[in-house]
Structure 1
């Protein structure tokens, strides 16, 4: 016999999950002990939202569900933002919270909430664990979280059940699906019909998205683009899937200067959406060019699709590349001109240090396979366009939910998954303040992540929205601590920079460091205001 808690830990370990993240309460003590006994390390965070963000990044980086744990009441409510992020950013996550014991649930009021109802709108599936169903529930959670499109599942564990006994007999466990969904192939006639539509186009554009990144379809996307000689635009969650030093690359949609890329789409006569998830779009789709959707699931009705090619992305894109007639539809000089226009649009000269200069100096100091997690705010728009991703699976961003406070916890999880790689978190001062207590987590766990804080004393993205409407800046300015001093108080090496030269020196130091490092970069926010 074993306990419910140990069974959960055992099955997670068998599924390849090595870590769980959370902030405990007395009601999850048995669960945490069960994980420990079965070899799953529980890492305590300083806030439940950070635990969920770590589980998100863990899930996206490994393809296996990330696990986050919280107690009942406020623990469960604090976890919600990170779980909602997983839902909209398509990350496989298993979120587990405690609940009152069965005998008290219907009569107690202290910390009593309908947690199943709370999590229902932001998860793919919800279940209440008891000794009779724990085996089946955990198996289904592993499967549902990873099936296309991936996302979070919620498991509620009444505290009276965690120590209850279950038998040790194995439960029939199907293999957790691989990235990219079903192994079924697409019918050759569907491939041919899609190819015929593409061949009728004179100026096709390839729009590459999150599903292609998740499927590991980088090689197939490159082959299709080169076969067509078509320019490529990537979504923010797909950066690196198409190498951004390739002559057919143009830019990242929905980031700084995206109007240049929207002009490119408007000038095309066929859009090939390769794994492009509409959750990556923040603007209305107003283009006339017909869209051919290639994805693991049928197209969402966000934009009109005239052909839906549904199947596993790696073989489907490979077959499509083979089927279309080769030939350059665009001159390379035309594509290069789009890149020049975009660069001219986003490079704003300002006194002091611009955000764009800071990001380029950061990239110059770190290896090309550096993992980078980017937070939400004006700095996200700049980093998403300026940072050049040439290696798949290296760029992480909260985009579907766009939640501030994401980057530093996500970077910690990425360092756990890839301890041999350099890992950087880029956050604005407003965003970093939401998660800077996790500096202690970095030190305690020994995670050598570089935190780059772009300091301007404002919520610049909101302030610019006020300016566009002719309103005065209201509720967007704030004071900051000395971020470098705060980092040192946590035991983190830190620097403060205000010039391009200082930034280059500090980033070079950070790239050489083995332990956690923070660089507070004072930028001129006028750099976010494009010409």
Structure 2
């Protein structure tokens, strides 16, 4: 039976497991969206394509299943770019249908014509045109297969007139999802076991590549009496049910994590591609296991590099290693982690009952939110508060922009989460800068009935940028934000909103906000003068912050300097 290209593509996507397609309808994709209308694929109508790509990417990342977005030629497809980069760097199995002008106009400088391949091939695992109607099912299936198996974005480029072309659809091209066992060669496993047996102390450093292998990581830690440090992206997976957990390393990490890696004879990296080289010990102390050989040794020199899935490799390794009975290394790390947690709790304390620290706000949210709540956090300071103050308990899901570092990711990603998990509480921790960057899709929450709870950390500034400027000894410049009353804005968009200006209002407002049906917004005025303190404060950072203080005093801003010192250094 003859079908048109649009129908074939939609049928292939549904067969590959896709449930939703995010985008804005128009000209070159009208036949594609009409095919969606007649299918089981749900069209999610956003107000900006970037929000659509962020939502689709979050859906795909959280579920591990294919999500889809589609855009018109030229501006429509290009608006997806930032969300596509974010989703690709997260390893989300997302497929973008990027349309182009009609074939008769291609290559002739026609209005809105764009070389989509040049744009998207740098942020995709697959990027191809459908050049003939016979290729419709084959190319779409290969794109979906690449996205699902390689972990990233696949792009299918289609000229607008191609969607209308009919063809006898006879070959059953489909998507395959093999599950291979990947582990090092036997000789490499023997060498790894020997190195671990000879080492006095071992620290495990696990990343997102270990997210499906947490039980094996814990078992290895038990045998080695090794503390487990995790990357920021792996918090959701490695913290829960892990008595060996000592937190994170990196600028957003804690002292226990940093010291446990610095002090160990071997830092065994498990499925991590953590980028910041200054947080690695000398290469002679580093052994790395990763599924991708191209990742071995690219962040730090390594003593030994092995290719393997974390879980498969640990299972093959465990019979070869001897139990370590000395617990001093582990005990020291756990004691330091206990102090780090106490320090996080203390950071929420305030002598001023009117002042709301973002840490206070986040800790209250952590207590009140559901045990299986889903949290997203804007790149910037909300990301730091999420990672430090939201409890990972094995049921919750956490997502923030750690690889791409974009603004305005939180509530678009929460839209995708709410679509995928309609029965769960989904909370977006938004900066006021992020919220105002993609504010139009508040309307999508109402129109598509996505019950996202929006929490706005309203400090009237690009707070993380201010912190960066201050730590560099600069006056904070061009960071001021003149914001609306976000609660009234929410109400104008069709959802309830609350505004909180002092601490005594917060408890009641948060309870009402979380209990609201459908989408709702809580606008909280938080302290502007906050630093995200690193696990270790270097002398250069103190000197630079002191330089900011001197400049601020000379600029007539003495109160800010006093507040900065009181809330971040004197406690």
Judge same fold: TM > 0.5, yes or no: yes
More deviation, 249-258/234-243: 249-258
Structure 1 residues 427-455: Cα deviation after superposition (integer angstroms, max 9, x where no partner):
11101112332222111222211111111
Aligned counterpart for 2:219 among listed residues 220, 223, 230 = 223
Structure 1 residues 48-72: Cα deviation after superposition (integer angstroms, max 9, x where no partner):
1111101111111121222111111
TM-score, length-scaled by structure 1: 0.93
- Distance in 2 between the 1:283 and 1:329 partners? 29
Contact in 2 for aligned 1:459/1:477 (Cα 8 Å): yes
- Distance in 2 between the 1:465 and 1:158 partners? 45
- Distance in 2 between the 1:241 and 1:286 partners? 22
Rg larger in structure? 2
Q: Helix, strand or coil: the match of 1:419?
A: coil
- Structure having greater relative contact order (Cα 8 Å, sep ≥ 6): 1
| Cα distance change, pair 79–357 in 1 and its aligned pair in 2 (3 A) | same
Give the aligned partner of residue 292 of structure 1. Answer: 287
Q: Is 1:319 the equivalent of 2:316? A: yes
Contact in 2 for aligned 1:146/1:177 (Cα 8 Å): no
Aligned counterpart for 1:303 among listed residues 300, 303, 314 = 300
| Cα distance change, pair 277–415 in 1 and its aligned pair in 2 (3 A) | same
1:398 shift after superposition: 1.2
Q: Is 1:444 the equivalent of 2:447? A: yes
User: What is the correspondence of 1:2-401 to structure 2 with a 5 Å cutoff?
Assistant: 2-129=3-130, 130-148=132-150, 150-177=151-178, 182-213=180-211, 216-244=212-240, 246-254=242-250, 256-258=252-254, 261-278=257-274, 281-282=275-276, 284-288=278-282, 290-298=285-293, 299-300=295-296, 301-331=298-328, 333-343=331-341, 346=344, 347-348=346-347, 349-350=349-350, 351=352, 352-391=355-394, 394-401=397-404
1:500 shift after superposition: 4.2
| Cα distance change, pair 257–499 in 1 and its aligned pair in 2 (3 A) | farther
User: What is the correspondence of 1:454-469 to structure 2 with a 5 Å cutoff?
Assistant: 454-469=457-472
Q: Helix, strand or coil: the match of 1:20?
A: strand
Q: Helix, strand or coil: the match of 1:390?
A: coil
Contact in 2 for aligned 1:456/1:522 (Cα 8 Å): yes
| Cα distance change, pair 89–284 in 1 and its aligned pair in 2 (3 A) | farther
| Cα distance change, pair 33–177 in 1 and its aligned pair in 2 (3 A) | farther
1:27 shift after superposition: 0.9
- Distance in 2 between the 1:356 and 1:455 partners? 13
Structure 1 residues 141-172: Cα deviation after superposition (integer angstroms, max 9, x where no partner):
11211234x11122111001001112232424
Contact in 2 for aligned 1:66/1:94 (Cα 8 Å): yes
Structure 1 residues 380-431: Cα deviation after superposition (integer angstroms, max 9, x where no partner):
1222122121216711111111111111111111111112221111111101
- Distance in 1 between the 2:98 and 2:198 partners? 54
- Distance in 2 between the 1:207 and 1:239 partners? 12
Q: Helix, strand or coil: the match of 2:237?
A: coil
Aligned counterpart for 2:456 among listed residues 429, 444, 453 = 453
Contact in 2 for aligned 1:2/1:168 (Cα 8 Å): yes
| Cα distance change, pair 169–501 in 1 and its aligned pair in 2 (3 A) | farther
- Distance in 2 between the 1:131 and 1:502 partners? 61
Structure 2: tracts of 5 or more residues without a match: 534-568
Q: Is 1:481 the equivalent of 2:484? A: yes
| Cα distance change, pair 255–408 in 1 and its aligned pair in 2 (3 A) | farther
Give the aligned partner of residue 403 of structure 1. Answer: 406
Give the aligned partner of residue 503 of structure 1. Answer: 506
- Distance in 2 between the 1:245 and 1:314 partners? 17
Structure 1: tracts of 5 or more residues without a match: none
More deviation, 312-321/47-56: 312-321
1:185 shift after superposition: 4.9
More deviation, 360-369/343-352: 343-352
1:200 shift after superposition: 2.1
1:7 shift after superposition: 0.8
Q: Helix, strand or coil: the match of 2:220?
A: helix
- Distance in 2 between the 1:141 and 1:282 partners? 32
Contact in 2 for aligned 1:252/1:385 (Cα 8 Å): no
